[in-house]
Structure 1
Amino acid sequence: MTPRVGIVLGSGLGAIAEALTDATHTPYAELEGFPRPSVAGHGGTLSQGLLGGLPVAIFQGRKHVYETGDAYGMRVPIRWLKEAGAETLFLTNAAGSLNADVGPGRLMAISDHINFLGVNPLTGPNDDAVGPRFPSLRDAYDPELRAKLHAAATGLDINLAEGVYLATAGPTFETPAEIRAFRTLGADAVGMSTVPEVILARHAGLRVAAVSAITNLAEGMGGEELSHEQTLRNAEVAARDLVRLVLKFAEDY
């Protein structure tokens, strides 16, 4: 079965894979070049099957910059997806909100990003067979796919926000001063992933859509001390709407 869409699942968002039919599941450990996730909430499995009748490949788990110090961890999976015949990459993540009106449990469609990772997955020799040396990231988050997301959300009565995602390398959460700076820069949510996959996907010619599951207000904006356990707990809340949204998106794709 040739996947038309690839879906990368963020922390605590594995419930989407449970909605697959005619599914096969392959551990990353059995796939050459695939990462070995070491973070709780990241399964490390490639699942393929039908989602709302749409052939998809679901990546349960990703490699983060804070695990390796570089942004190469998802290069093989994203390029495998392109070679398999897919046309679109749908990314999900758990993120902290920099907008007090978009709190835990909400979903945010990503319209653009700011790369504060300090690294880029295309650093080094370019593979001209995959994509150009200097790819453009204009409209990296496909406007037509974002419109489909909003239409799906409206039909499901999901209040889908939209904004700019800023990626930091981690593994520490941000300081209150950093959050104030990021807000000044125009960021609406902050996390530790996604941007490398977007760059790799656009380099390879894949269209991209992405949604953040908001798990907390960023440091200095709420009363609770941030933790990965909190991220996983609140991701489960947002996942309820995210599963519905991804299913509807697949049905209408």
Structure 2
Amino acid sequence: MNTYDFYKKSADYILDKINYMPEIGLILGSALGSLSEEISDQTIIDYKDIPNFLISTVESHAGKLILGKLREKNVVCMSGRFHYYEGYEFEQLAIPIRVFKLLGVNTVILTNAAGAINKEFKPGDVMIIKDHIKLTGESPVRGKNIPELGPRFFDVSDMYTKSLRDLTKECANELNIDIKEGVYFYATGPQFETPAEIKAMRILGGDTVGMSTVTEAITAAHCSIKVLGLSLVTNMAAGVLEQPVTTEEVDETGEMASEKLKKLIGEIVEKIGNR
């Protein structure tokens, strides 16, 4: 896995099916797969058919790579992603972004469904990720470095690219969408967090919590790919309300808020690189 050719085999298989190189990558989280419907001139590839790729095991994730145009930009979209809780190692979770890099992607938009740690947030809110907290020791870029993809040691102080965050705020304002900004706290799952864990996360500065996105953002930073992270708040985290956290709540809120997120992402994609 720690060779350039390993990832190139995946990228070559995908590029052989299209006649362009995508410039923007999209990775869609739980209950957000309907965003892929906005892509025109679609070429759809099942993950299982891509050499050296992974297979999504989460029911709400389609497990398909979709290539085409969104607002006249060439894009590649993952409808469904991979997680540590599925049994994959952190190093394996670097695969999608490294393949994106070899496809020509220079910007990724990462979306996720997240629980609200911040008590001022509510289900249906969209939060721009300005930073994250990951207290697990593992890294997706652990192991032998591949210099063709990035340096051994790299800066992550602007991992969630400020210019993209600023652009998102402008787009949200134009669309009259209330937007939050905050810190995403990474948890490995698959169990939801305990009330005590959520209290600790709040003390440490977390605003939302989820089980994805961070490994992709770290890998993108290593590959010098710009990152925009968006959390859709689907529920209040454990202990905030006197009720249990359920998968059904996550999916229902995702479906209700997806139209708002579609419009926002479409506007962002249209304006990326145009200024």
Q: TM-score, normalization: structure 2?
A: 0.89
Displacement after TM superposition at 1:68 (Å): 1.5
* 8 Å contact kept, 2:39–2:68: yes
2:43 and 2:243 mapped to 1: Cα distance?
A: 40
Aligned pairs for 1:20-99 (under 5 A) are 20-68=39-87, 70-99=89-118
2:227 match: 208
Tell me the alpha carbon deviations over residues 134-156 of structure 1, each in whole angstroms, 9 at most, x when there is no partner.
Answer: 11111100000001111110011
Establish whether residue 18 from structure 1 lines up as the match of residue 30 from structure 2.
no
User: What is the alpha-carbon distance in structure 2 between the residues aligned to residue 37 and residue 118 of structure 1?
Assistant: 24
Q: 1:117 & 1:247 partners in 2: Cα distance?
A: 34
Write the letter of the residue equivalent to 1:107: V
1:58-79 deviation line (CA, Å, top 9, x unaligned): 0111111111152233322211
Higher Rg: 2
| Structure 1 residue 231 displacement after superposition | 1.1
Cα distance in 1 for residues equivalent to 2:22 and 2:172: 23
For the aligned residue pairs, the C-alpha RMSD in angstroms reads 1.1
Contact 1:35 1:44 in 2 (8 A): no
CA distance in structure 1 between the aligned counterparts of 2:53 and 2:187, rounded to whole angstroms: 22
**1:110 to 2:129 alignment:** yes
**What is the CA deviation profile of residues 140-176 of structure 1, one whole-angstrom value per residue up to 9, with x for unaligned ones?**
0000000111111001110010000010111111111
- Could you say what secondary structure the match of 1:137 adopts? coil
Q: Partners of 1:119 and 1:86 in 2: how far apart? A: 25
Q: What residue number does 1:196 align with?
A: 215
Moved over 3 A (4+): none
Once the two structures are superposed, what CA deviation does each residue of 1:97-121 show, in whole Å capped at 9, x if it has no partner? 1112211011000000001344210
Inter-partner Cα distance in structure 2 for 1:59 and 1:74: 13
How much does 1:223 deviate? 3.0
Instruction: Tell me which moved more, 222-231 or 45-54.
Output: 222-231
SS of the equivalent of 1:74 reads helix
Confirm or deny that 1:145 pairs with 2:164.
yes
SS at structure 2 position matched to 1:34: coil
Amino acid at match of 1:182: M
Give me the whole-angstrom Cα distance separating, in 1, the residues matched to 2:25 and 2:240: 34
One of 230, 242, 247 as aligned partner of 2:261 = 242
Question: Aligned partners of 2:70, 2:242: CA distance in 1, in Å?
Answer: 38
Percent identical among aligned pairs is 39
* Aligned residue number for residue 13 of structure 2: none
Q: State the number of aligned residues.
A: 253
1:128 paired to 2:147: yes
1:116–1:169 CA contact under 8 A, matched in 2: no
- Partners of 2:71 and 2:241 lie apart in 1 by 37
The range that moved more, 162-171 or 238-247, is 238-247
* Alpha-carbon separation, structure 2, partners of 1:93 and 1:174: 16
Unpaired runs of 5+ residues, structure 2, are 1-19
TM normalised by structure 1 equals: 0.97
Aligned to 1:226: 245
**1:162 aligned partner:** 181
Q: Contact (CA 8 Å) 1:98, 1:189: kept in 2 or not?
A: yes
Cα distance in 2 for residues equivalent to 1:232 and 1:28: 22
Once the two structures are TM-superposed, the CA of residue 128 in structure 1 deviates from its matched residue by 1.6
